[in-house]
Amino acid sequence: MKKQLGLGLILATAMMANVQAADKPVRLASDFTYPPFNYKDANGTPKGFDIEIADALCQEAKLDCVWVTQSWDGLIPSLLARKSDAIMASMRITEERKQRVLFTDKYYQTPARFVARNDAGISIDKAGLEGKKIGVQLGTIHDRYVTDIYGEVAKIQRYTGQDEVYLDLSTGRLDAAFGNSDQLALAFLDKEQGKDFEFVGEAVTDKAYIGEGTALALRKTDKALAEKFNKAIQTIRENGTYDRIAGKYFKFDIYGE
């Protein structure tokens, strides 16, 4: 009898643990330094395209989601250390990252570009960038690209947030910046701060660096959660929710091909 009671207690405890685990909110991580995709307003409230898309996905998948703040270079380590459950921070799908995390289907896809002052006369090649200071966000695919391609000739300046890149670019401490083309346009070139700047060189679309789109990143063991997000992405694309949100931020097709 005691053995039966003991077994029953163990089973009940295990069931309760499972219920509690199921009730835990899904912790979405972002660095909130990437307007108009993800940032915080004056009250500290998460805002932006990523945020609204995430809210729509969580609602569609019937998930209780909460936001946690993490520096960009700590997003994947924090995820793997179980301090968050998914990264929703405009993270591109790359082969290198796929070795560490599980990506959902993409929720947008854009090329990358260089920006410089419109009278700088900079050409985007090794000769034109020799000795130039190029600003990038630390640990991003943009960091990797300029380091691999131009690191031997240019001076790469790395920042924890994209807004810091724009500040140093606008004040002349940088010769150029490299990043996501639409983010550069919307958060810098279209603002007063960027009125004297322009895109230079061709758009960079090399999938070895730029990736296969932007997606949520999860631990490889969380396949069931990834599938819930994938179904939700498909649904909001089909029912018009995605286009409604995207239309608030962009005048072009952010989803891509």
SS3 per residue for 177-218: EEEEHHHHHHHHHCCHHHCCEEEEEEEECCHHHHCCCEEEEE
Q: Which residues contact 117 (CB under 8 A, 6 or more apart)?
A: 196, 197, 198
| pLDDT at residue 252, as a whole number | 86
> What's the Cα-to-Cα distance from 202 to each of 115, 145, 178, rounded to whole Å?
11, 14, 12
For residue 83, the Cα-to-chain-centroid distance in whole angstroms is: 17
> Phi and psi of 145, rounded to 5°?
-65, -55
Helices 49-60/241-249 angle, 10° precision: 170
Contact indicator for 159, 165 with CB cutoff of 8 Å: yes
Instruction: Please state the pTM of the whole predicted model.
Output: 0.76
**CATH class for domain 112-210?**
alpha beta
Which amino acid, one-letter code, is at 186?
L
| pLDDT at residue 199, as a whole number | 96
| pLDDT at residue 256, as a whole number | 85
| pLDDT at residue 4, as a whole number | 46
| pLDDT at residue 202, as a whole number | 94
| pLDDT at residue 1, as a whole number | 46
| pLDDT at residue 257, as a whole number | 73
How high is the mean pLDDT in each 10-residue block of the chain (257 residues)?
45 40 84 94 97 98 98 97 98 94 96 96 96 96 96 97 95 97 93 96 92 95 98 98 96 87
Reply yes or no on domain 26-109+212-248 having CATH 3.40.190.10: yes
* Strand order from edge to edge, sheet including 26-30: 65-69, 26-30, 86-92, 214-218, 102-103
CATH 3.40.190.10 location in the chain: 26-109+212-248, 112-210
| pLDDT at residue 22, as a whole number | 53
